[in-house]
Amino acid sequence: KAVEINALWHNFARTMTYLHHEVYGNLTIYAGYEIAIQQGFEKFWNEKGQYLNDVIRLDGTTDDAVRPNQLFAASLPYPVISRERAQSVLKVVEAELLTPMGLRTLSPSHPDYKGFYGLGKAWANQYDRDITYHQGTVWPWLLGAWVNARVYAYGQSAENFALIANQLKPLLKHFEESGCIGSISEIFDGE
């Protein structure tokens, strides 16, 4: 059970409830699903680390790797965690995953972390690229989820927007000056 899939499922159920209400004026059809999803989502909370576990395995054990997928619990239109928990998640994500170009796919403190895409080889083969793609490579597109989670957790204050704008400056510079001007690279090295 992946944390992001469950956050998406929660948003689907909430969206269906909204649509059903708009069409039929009835809110009860999906309410039971929403409550069950919300209660089930509690199992992702890592009390010790104050963030969301990445996966709940079939045997009930959890993968406590710090990954950006947990941001979807706070960044979608219907957040599945409280603002307080979103703030806690952001503290961990910002400390371990946030870089000037996006978010790492795995925390550098994890034993499986790979800081260089393709293991840093100038001509990495497919295997070397594949084993590093989800193990620390930075993905810029995840900044959208980060921004939405920040706004949910800390509000639409001038201070929060200034922090967000400052974080995006290096990526905007890349957009204007590097590679194919007017576009953003798909990935960056975790280091």
pLDDT for residue 29 is more than 70 = no
State the DSSP code for 44.
G
Q: Span 82-102, mean pLDDT?
A: 98
Strand partners, 62: 56
pLDDT for res 27: 61
b/e map 156-185, b = 16+ CB within 10 Å: eeeeeeeeeeebbeebeebbeeeeeeeebe
Q: What are the tens digits of pLDDT across the range 122-132?
A: 888 888 888 88
Instruction: Report d(CA 73, CA 65) in Å as an integer.
Output: 16
Sign, CA torsion 48/54/56/57: negative
Residue with tokens 């590679």: 179
Predicted local confidence at residue 110, as pLDDT:
97
pLDDT digits (tens, 9 = 90+) for 165-179: 999 999 999 998 887
What is residue 147's predicted lDDT score, i.e. its pLDDT? Answer: 98
Rounded Cα gap, residues 144 and 170, in angstroms: 15
